[in-house]
Amino acid sequence: MADETEPESSDEKKKGGKKGLIIGVLGAFLLAGGGFFAAYSGMILGPAAPASGNAAESDLPPLPEIVFIPLEPMVVSLGASASSKFLRFSAQLDVDPASEAAVMMVLPRIVDVLNTYLRAVSEEELGKPAALERLRAQMLRRIQVVTEQGQVKDLLITEFVLG
C-alpha cells in the first residue's frame, strides 16, 4: 500500500510545478507591464515626451543670435626640412552679431596674423596630441588682439591637414 501512495504524491508535485510556472510567468508580465506604464507616464525616469513638438518648443529658451564668418582656406608651407611640406588650414570665426561689419573690415589683418603664427610653428609642435587645442587658443588670442575686445567669441577650426 505504501507503493500506491507514492505515485499520487509525484503527480501532485508535477501539477504544483506547472501552477507555479504559470503564476511566475503571469507575475513577470504584470511587473513588465507596470514598469512600462511607470516609465511611459513619467512616474520614473522623468516625464513622458509630449505628443506634439509645439509644447516642447515653447518650454525652451530662444537661441542667441549666432554669426559665423568663414575664413578662406590657407595653405602654409612648413619648410624644406619638414617631412610634411604644407599645412592646409580653414576656420570660422564666432562673432558677436553687432560686430560683424567691424570684423569683416579687419579680416585681412586676421588672415595675416594667422598666416604669420602658423608659419612660425614647428612641425614637432604640430604633431603633439594636444597641439590643436593649444594652437586654437593661441590663434584666438591673436585674433582678439587684432579686433576689439568681445567682438570675436571663438575660433572654430574646420580643416587642419598636414600634407
pLDDT digits (tens, 9 = 90+) for 63-93: 888 899 999 999 988 877 777 788 899 999 9
pLDDT digits (tens, 9 = 90+) for 138-149: 999 999 999 988
Determine the topology of domain 67-162 in CATH.
Answer: Tetrahydropterin Synthase; Chain A (3.30.479)
Question: Helices (H), strands (E): how many in the chain?
Answer: 6, 4
The pLDDT-based confidence of 16 (bands split at 50, 70, 90) is: low
CA–CA separation, 14 vs 96, rounded Å? 78
The pLDDT-based confidence of 157 (bands split at 50, 70, 90) is: very high
Exposure on the CB side of residue 34, measured as CA atoms within 13 A: 6
CA–CA separation, 57 vs 19, rounded Å? 52
Predicted local confidence at residue 95, as pLDDT: 95
Average pLDDT over residues 130-142: 93
Q: Taking all residues of the chain, what is their mean pLDDT, rounded to a whole number?
A: 82
Strands of 29-142, DSSP E:
67-70, 74-77, 86-95
Predicted local confidence at residue 128, as pLDDT: 83
Predicted local confidence at residue 44, as pLDDT: 77
pLDDT digits (tens, 9 = 90+) for 43-68: 777 654 555 555 555 678 888 888 99
> Has residue 4 got a pLDDT over 80?
no
Cβ contact 75:86 at 8 Å: yes
> Has residue 30 got a pLDDT over 80?
yes
Map out the domains of the chain as residue ranges. Answer: 2-59, 67-162
The pTM assigned to this predicted structure is: 0.60
Radius of gyration, alpha carbons of the chain? 34
> Has residue 96 got a pLDDT over 80?
yes
